Structure 1
Amino acid sequence: MVALRLNRQGTKDRPYYKIVAVDSRKRRDGRYIEQIGTYNPMLEGTNFTIDLEKADAWIANGAQPSDTVRSIIKKAKKAALEA
């Protein structure tokens, strides 16, 4: 099964994440299929970027987003409606 989840980058005490589509059996930071966005928890305000078209396409094909990625997608869709 394909999962949409975070792939940790950055250094100790300075996390930075890629939002990726990955085989759910792979390790957290292992090889991924496609990068669909980024998330930087160190920033205030809007601290993520995501390609909603790619995310929706993966979900339509059966990918399961993690709780954090689901939250980011929800925030991005809300921001897109307000803009």
Structure 2
Amino acid sequence: MVTIRMARGGSKKRPFYSIVVTDSRKPRDSGYIERLGYFNPSARGQEVRLHLEQERITHWLGLGAQPSDRVATLLKDAAKTAVAAA
């Protein structure tokens, strides 16, 4: 099954996550099919905390990809902020 989940990057004590599409049987940080954005939980000031490519995410969800629990929460929060900004 294809999953949309986070792959950890960054250094020790400074996490940075890529939001990727991957086979659910692969390890967390191994190869992926496509990178859909990133999440920086330690963003400060003008740094971007969350960046998503919405049309590619919609494409993969339409093909049956299942988001992880955390990614589903991030997608919902991004949708709320997009509606509030409009």
SS at 2:70 equivalent: helix
List structure 1 runs of 4+ shifted beyond 3 angstroms: none
Q: Percent identity?
A: 46
Residues 11-56 of structure 1 deviation map (CA, whole Å, 9 limit, x = unaligned): 1101000000001111100000000010011125861111111111
SS at 1:21 equivalent: strand
How far apart, CA to CA, are the structure 2 residues paired with 1:19 and 1:81? 22
Consecutive unaligned residues of structure 2, counting only runs of 5 or more, are none
Consecutive unaligned residues of structure 1, counting only runs of 5 or more, are none
- Is 1:28 aligned to 2:28, yes or no? yes
| 1:81 Cα offset (Å) | 1.3
The aligned counterpart of 1:9 is: 9
**Residue type of the alignment partner of 2:38:** T
Q: Which has the larger radius of gyration?
A: 2
**1:1-83 correspondence to structure 2 within 5 Å:** 1-43=1-43, 47-83=49-85
Task: Count matched residues.
Answer: 83
| 1:77 Cα offset (Å) | 1.1
Q: TM-score, normalised by structure 2?
A: 0.89
